[in-house]
Structure 1
């Protein structure tokens, strides 16, 4: 398959996904293979929460729309223009060990492997076993040449050349040992932070709420830590995020809120609490679900040095241009195709490993 052929298949997938939204799902006559896939996919969206309690229809629709927006021809072309893919000779078998904390979290790796001409052997997370295999069936229907490029396995991974594995810090140690003889990308826990100075608008703080609450805070791109200047008042922050109060009506989130709040209170920690989110002063980056940590800073330049030193623990930084390479409020869960997890260029890795 030529690169243009491969790109066109994923553009078609984007068109298929674009039909499904929380507000208005519309079956379009010009989308390929709707007769085979549309109704079944709509059912799968609404069954997702029974497979994983965190995968509510709202969250799944958001993930689908995010990928629909990304899989436009101009985006794929811009992303891949940085690489010499047409001249590349790629026929590796790449093992993908995927996470399942948020819907389709491993799709970018899957996409990267196939667009570079390699084969993917995929071990899905037990928490996300249905969405990506459905995508694969659709892709193969659009172009059957992909059939020999995609394999899902449930047991032991065998006969592969390289590996991309995502997990916790604990599983990463296992992966590093088990795959020590293979070229690999091993992803560990990371968290995202926001840097505030008290001059943020209500709209920016509302958008920060999106960075905190999307996917219930389960993603590495969710903001789990706030850096604020000394004397900062959280009143405006709490007022702005009140629009997300309905999150407490989801049982799994509410259970985490009740449990984590109780643990904090029994430990005599000082908390700020609005009934659906607790915030706690803490030097750690990883806060539990339904909680955000915060820390005071004196000097923005010193803070920036610390964030650079801790770069391996941080996925992305949100601010109003207060620190270098930060992104805008509300955009953490809308990465571009060229925004790589852990800042590791997956395409370059796939092109340069033997």
Structure 2
């Protein structure tokens, strides 16, 4: 069995393990128990990584790491053109396993991943490396974690904020690179959405507490939009207000808005504020009104470099269905930059 097939088999077995873990009520085998301990440790180190959100991420990856999905994804490329390199990956840590797609892309294309893990999401990625190595020791040299300053690499994939991007561009500018900045996701509403669609939108808003770039942080609504149906439809998500870190952010941001005399809408666990910006604070959602659909489309198209996902129906050709932003496929590349194509050409 050649190396590419061995790597392919290791990741499909990882997916099978995730699927099995997600469907069984008891976890008596050694690796399942280790994963349970890892999930608990991830929550201990990062309060936003609740058991529910981590298990959602594991289920999602379990659904993607199948022979069919991986074959269809990589079948679009000629992997024979790759010249194996060491690729540095600077991972974010805002949501569970957010850097895994980059690691998967690097290793599956025959390259060596030199990863700098975020302190906010190191134990889950560490578990995955250990599990993959247990399947095939070949991967011990293909997935390396750097504890200090990253050096001796041929290309880099770095994910961070607009501020850290300037540092990345200075430090990594002399090698082929993908440097990602802040992006946000929005929902474009017309007022004709059903309660079921708006309830599904709640998943796009509240999953991972709104911390992901695919989390909806802003609504575009027609002028004089009635928010009553929206608030009624998302009420099923009200238990999120019982999460202490989320509740603290809700109380703080609401207090700041009120003291600043901003007009807000509030349902007890989410604050809506009219604002032209895209990045709303935790437990807050910005909104902006529009007069015509043409005006809205023009705005979204002009700002596309700031947007990761646009949720809606009948607004844009590449819009996302309500409730689906946190279920990206293997070809849904961050910032719209084809990672595999980049790796094969550099």
Matches within 5 A, 1:1-354: 1-21=2-22, 24-27=24-27, 35-85=29-79, 87-353=80-346
SS state at 2:326 partner: coil
Alignment partners' CA distance in 2, 1:107 and 1:151: 13
Gaps of 5+ in 1: 28-33
Residue 20 of structure 1 and its aligned partner are, at CA, apart by 2.8
Offset at residue 240 of structure 1 (A): 0.5
Distance (whole Å) between structure 2 residues aligned to residue 258 and residue 299 of structure 1:
35
Q: In the TM superposition, what whole-angstrom CA distance separates every residue of 1:68-102 from its partner, at most 9, and x where no partner exists?
A: 011111111111111001x2233100001000000
Structure 1 residues 190-243: Cα deviation after superposition (integer angstroms, max 9, x where no partner): 000000111111110000000000000000000001001111100000001000
Query: Structure 1 length normalisation: TM-score?
Result: 0.95
Shift of 1:2: 4.1
CA contact (8 A) 1:277 1:292 kept: yes
Cα 1:54–1:128 shift into 2, 3 Å: same
String of CA shifts for 1:269-315, please: whole Å, max 9, x gaps.
Answer: 10000000000110101100000000111111221121111111100
SS of 2:285's equivalent in the other structure is: strand
Residue 47 of structure 1 deviates from its aligned partner by: 2.4
- Output the CA distance in 2 between the equivalents of 1:47 and 1:150: 22
**2:184 & 2:232 partners in 1: Cα distance?**
24
Q: What secondary structure sits across from 2:218 in the alignment?
A: strand
The answer for unaligned runs of 5 or more in structure 2 is: none
Contact kept? 1:260, 1:288, Cα under 8 Å: yes
> Matches of 1:149 and 1:287 in 2, distance apart?
38
CA distance in 1, matches of 2:307, 2:298: 13
Instruction: Please give the alpha-carbon distance, in whole angstroms, between the structure 1 residues aligned to 2:139 and 2:322.
Output: 38
| 3-state SS in 2 of match to 1:18 | helix
Superposed CA offset, 1:161-203 (max 9, x none): 1100001111111101111111110011100000011111111
Deviation at 1:26? 4.6
Check conservation: 1:120, 1:150, Cα contact below 8 A. Answer: yes
Question: Are the aligned partners of 1:228 and 1:296 in contact in 2 as well (CA < 8 Å)?
Answer: yes
Query: What is the deviation of 1:112?
Result: 0.1
Q: How many residues are treated as equivalent by the alignment? A: 345
Q: Contact (CA 8 Å) 1:256, 1:289: kept in 2 or not?
A: yes
Between the aligned partners of 2:26 and 2:112, the Cα distance in structure 1 is 33
Instruction: Find the aligned partners of 1:314 and 1:48 in 2 and give their Cα distance.
Output: 29
Question: 1:68, 1:119 → 2: CA distance?
Answer: 23
Q: Which piece of structure 1 moves more, 200-209 or 5-14?
A: 5-14
In structure 2, the partner of 1:30 is: none
